[in-house]
Amino acid sequence: MRTQVGIIGAGPAGLLLSHLLHLRGISSVVLEKRSRDYVERRVRAGVLEQGTVDALVEAGVGERMLREGLPHHGIELRYGGAGHRIPFEKLVPGRSITVYGQQEVVKDLIAARLAAGGDVRFEVEDVAVHGLEPGSDTGPYVTFGGERLDCDVIAGCDGFHGVSRPSIPEGVLSVFEREYPFAWLGILANVTPSSEELIYTRTERGFALHSMRSPTVSRFYLQVPADTSVDDWPDERIWDELKARLESVPGFTLTTGEITEKGVTPMRSFVVEPMQYGRLYLAGDAAHIVPPTGAKGLNLAVADVRVLTEALEAYFSDGSTALLDGYSEACLKRVWRAQHFSWWMTTLLHTFEEDDAYGRRLQLSYLDYVTSSEAAATTLAENYVGLPYGR
């Protein structure tokens, strides 16, 4: 087989890249080791930046998102027995976020690719990348399940644990990472959200987040020890702890109900540089991971894909390699801004060592500053809704 772009991974990055290339007349094949059912049910991020919403609409896959997604024009920071709203409509006019689950984005993209006759293959085995070395006689190609896919370019969109990044020779990449001494216990519950907007809560018991997926489904997170097992958290204990952390404001009552899903997410910051080698280009979690506090993972993947699409369009239209050569540098500017924002939100709202009284006073001081200074609140809002493209 032959195609112009071989794409490894059928998550949001790989599927959106394939669709954007299709709209520009560029062929691709998407290879995914998981089943279609698995990737369409895999619960991940749910907060879409303004730029991500715009990108999906421009690609013609935003109709259901606009109909069913939940636009939000602010978030609440809750600490010290009071809630403080960060009003996006005042601080960053015309920009907001939309709550719409990553699995829903994936469903929309798969439907669009298949409707357009796209070649998306699920449950492929033994995927391997070859021919990346500069000057290779064969050029880049991918093998899988006894087959071979020759291509001009390979896009590694297969996540942190995928095969793309390890295919780059040792010593080429610089790795920057940080692991946090806690994790998030996340749940989905069939309950009406107790708030119209997301609530980020800092307490002496630890961090908690109240989010939602629809008018009838809520999403919650609890800061827990890094070695936590889901088995340690029966439903009753989860609700008790969520109440203890969220019901810290007079008049607020948390609605409880059936929990349909539980999972523990480790907290990690990770970046590799450069995000390319030969004709292999990494996008999304294959190149960078952020702690979920800043809601940047999916949005960074979409940003990578936008840059890569523009570069590939130039390459296949007139042979220009300038944008492809500058792909990593262009992406990393936004990646590192998002890394800092996610680290900052994480350190601002989570409880660290029990005896770190100094650190806790610093947290409270900065929370007071963010919630009382329009300039500080604007910085948070601008980063949260996503910086405009080109900056």
Residues belonging to the active site: 72, 200, 292, 296, 384
302: phi then psi, degrees, rounded to nearest 5 = -65, -40
Answer yes or no: are the C-beta atoms of 191 and 261 closer than 8 Å: no
